[in-house]
């Protein structure tokens, strides 16, 4: 979920991220891990972008990872092998506040080899830059703030100024996903409009991924239980798997049931089981 949102933001608002991280509005294009001729270590969280003379490597993390330093070194070597003349900038962006010392690590040592990279803890970052840049707006809710509600209200005002309805819907959905790290869904819903978020590509992607995953599981079950029965059970399971994220987007139980075309009682039961 977070990986998809982060990739969308970095790839579609590359100039905003370049301005923030590199200090200049460079247009970047996606660099596929397959271009490095090696299988990715962790493709889901990896963002590689490039210009004519540089490569930007981003890792967005919700939790600390003790192997982060090794990953940074490994990808630096991979990129050097493929693009020996390009400068490489590597940044780990931690989203969720933690007291772990791992989020302060910005180097990795292996024998006499020392590799350095940049580590950013969003909860320590000033908000102003994020509020003044469309692509960074969704991350603003995670920046330094004593009151997340007030910060989300500021983000909502910024979103309202975006004229393109599709862009506004996508950024609002991304904001809701990040806000779920620091706020309760009920509070998010009072500030962000779920009717607009439903128009976003993220929202539709979430629904389709859940349904497709459920359908595949259903077909697998169908070999043992009968195709039609397995298909139906798998489809329902796929719908249920989308409930936690829809809640983070601020939808009510009734809205989730209507959107997924399932009974309200099933949604309530699923939520209750998760809370226990």
Mean model confidence pLDDT for the chain = 85
State the pLDDT at residue 220.
Answer: 64
pLDDT band at 223 (very low <50, low <70, confident <90, very high): low
Q: Answer yes or no: is 130 within a domain.
A: no
Asked if 94 and 120 touch (Cβ cutoff 8 Å), the reply is yes
Q: Of 92, 124, 156, at which residue does a domain stop?
A: 124
Between 39 and 261, whose confidence is greater?
Answer: 261
DSSP of 171-231: HHHHHHHHHTTTS-HHHHHHHS-HHHHTTSHHHHHHHHHHHHHHHHHHHHHHHHH-HHHHH
Same domain for 79 and 193, yes or no, is no
What's the domain range around 242?
Answer: 201-275
Examine residue 33 and state whether it is found in any structural domain, yes or no. yes
Specify whether 61 is located in the same domain as 82.
yes
Give residue 3's pLDDT: 79
The residue-averaged pLDDT of 134-141 equals: 95
Looking at the structure, tell me whether residues 8 and 93 fall in a common domain: yes
DSSP string of 245-258, one letter each residue: HHHHTT--HHHHHH
pTM listed for this prediction = 0.81
How far does Cα 131 stand from its chain's mean position?
A: 18
Nearest to 5 by CA among 51, 50, 57, 45: 45
Calpha distance 140→124 (Å, rounded): 11
Q: Which of 158, 182, 197 is the last residue of a domain?
A: 197
Instruction: Give the whole-number percent of the chain exceeding pLDDT 90.
Output: 50
Total domains in the chain come to: 3
- Domain boundary (72, 102, 124) is at 124
Shared-domain flag, residues 7 and 103 = yes
Is residue 246 domain-resident? Answer: yes
Task: State whether 118 and 225 are in the same domain.
Answer: no
Residue 71 and residue 45 share a domain: yes
9 in the same domain as 91:
yes
């Amino acid at each position: 979920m977070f990986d998809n949102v982060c990739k969308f933001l970095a790839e579609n608002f590359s100039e905003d991220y370049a301005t923030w991280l590199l200090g200049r509005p460079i247009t970047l294009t996606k660099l596929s891990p397959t271009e490095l001729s090696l299988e990715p270590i962790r493709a889901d969280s990896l963002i590689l972008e490039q210009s004519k003379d540089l490569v930007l490597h981003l890792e967005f993390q919700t939790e600390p990872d003790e192997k982060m330093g090794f990953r940074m070194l490994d990808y630096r070597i991979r990129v050097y092998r493929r693009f020996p003349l390009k400068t490489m900038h590597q940044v780990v962006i931690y989203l969720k506040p933690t007291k772990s010392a791992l989020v302060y690590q910005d180097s990795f040592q292996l024998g006499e080899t020392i590799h350095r990279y940049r580590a950013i803890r969003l909860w320590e970052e000033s908000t102003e830059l994020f509020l003044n840049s469309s692509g960074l707006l969704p991350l603003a809710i995670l920046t330094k703030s004593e009151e997340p509600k007030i910060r989300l209200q500021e983000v909502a005002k910024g979103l309202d100024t975006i004229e393109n309805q599709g862009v506004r819907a996508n950024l609002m959905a991304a904001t809701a996903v990040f806000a779920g790290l620091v706020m309760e869904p009920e509070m998010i819903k009072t500030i962000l409009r779920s009717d607009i978020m439903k128009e976003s590509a993220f929202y539709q992607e979430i629904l389709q991924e859940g349904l497709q995953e459920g359908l595949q599981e259903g077909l697998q079950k169908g070999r043992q239980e009968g195709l039609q029965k397995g298909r139906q059970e798998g489809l329902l399971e796929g719908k249920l798997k989308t409930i936690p994220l829809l809640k983070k987007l601020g939808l009510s139980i009734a809205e989730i049931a209507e959107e997924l075309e399932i009974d309200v009682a099933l949604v309530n039961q699923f939520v209750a089981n998760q809370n226990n």
